Amino acid sequence: MTPIVIEPSVALKWYTPEVYSEECLSLIERNVSILVPDALFAQVGTALWKRVRANELKPDVARQIASNLRRLPLTRVPAEVLMKDALEISTLTSRSFQEGLYFALAIRNDTKLVTADRRWHNLVSTGPMKPYLAFITEVCPTTTA
């Protein structure tokens, strides 16, 4: 099976019950090969910190999520390897450098960047990165009726 690239919204939904969590979990259950820039861990950590600060998550739960994420079979690619391409993509598309990292990884591996963030997907899907972008339900169709 072709590997995919995921961004933080997918990883967060592995641990927090939200819309599209079931589809995101199915990626792990189906043993899909998942690529991530190493920046994913900092971004997930920031999201966890924000949820703790907003009293949406207890600190010990956030620490457990961080610990569990490290144990998953994710193929990590150093941001420094993707930096040049990410900067070019970000400059071309007016998207953030961090978004450029994910797209650079997807392009380098001729695969899709999978997101579970509908708002972000809708913003990006009208631009030049559209061929490399997929919403989680395109990769893992909803199993419930």
Average pLDDT per block of 10 residues along the chain, 145 residues long: 92 93 91 95 97 97 96 95 97 93 97 95 90 94 60
What is the model's pLDDT at position 68?
95
Asked whether residue 24 is assigned to any structural domain, the reply reads: yes
Distance in angstroms (rounded) separating the CA atoms of residues 57 and 51: 5
- Give how far Cα 6 sits from Cα of 9, 56, 61, 114, 144, Å: 8, 24, 22, 5, 23
Q: What is the CATH number of the domain that holds 78?
A: 3.40.50.1010
Asked whether residue 144 is assigned to any structural domain, the reply reads: no
Residue carrying the six token digits 């990006």 = 124
What is the model's pLDDT at position 2?
83
Domain count, the chain: 1
What is the model's pLDDT at position 143?
57
